[in-house]
Amino acid sequence: MHKLTRQAVSNASPDQPAVWTLLEFEVDDDHAVALAEALQQALEQPGWYADFHNDHEIFVVFPARTFRYPRGDQPTRAKAQSHGRSLAIPEPQLDWTD
């Protein structure tokens, strides 16, 4: 693990805690799909997702669904954000890095 931090959030939904624990780490690109599949199985509803990226692709992982797209692909990013909204994720939280 590279970094573990705790962060108070002002835009937590009623189903989320006011303080989050953030885990930052790296995996080899050839493990990205396996990581997305594991996160997809582990994330709970409502209101949780994980995102990660490399130099070329973005992965946004929700419970039971993953969006994988090239950096800069705004239509797919918009679809992922729409899916997040359908899970009641607050708008300010749908701000992953592209």
Each residue of 43-52: pLDDT tens digit?
Answer: 987 778 999 9
Instruction: Please tell me the predicted confidence (pLDDT) of residue 1.
Output: 61
Mean pLDDT, to the nearest integer, of 33-48? 89
Q: pTM for the complete prediction?
A: 0.89
6 versus 47: the higher-pLDDT residue is 6
Instruction: Please tell me the predicted confidence (pLDDT) of residue 78.
Output: 98
Each residue of 68-87: pLDDT tens digit?
Answer: 999 999 999 999 999 999 99
**How many of the other CB atoms lie within 10 Å of CB of 8?**
9
Under a CB-based contact definition with an 8 Å cutoff, are residues 48 and 38 in contact? no
Question: CA 37, CA 42: separation in Å to the nearest integer?
Answer: 9
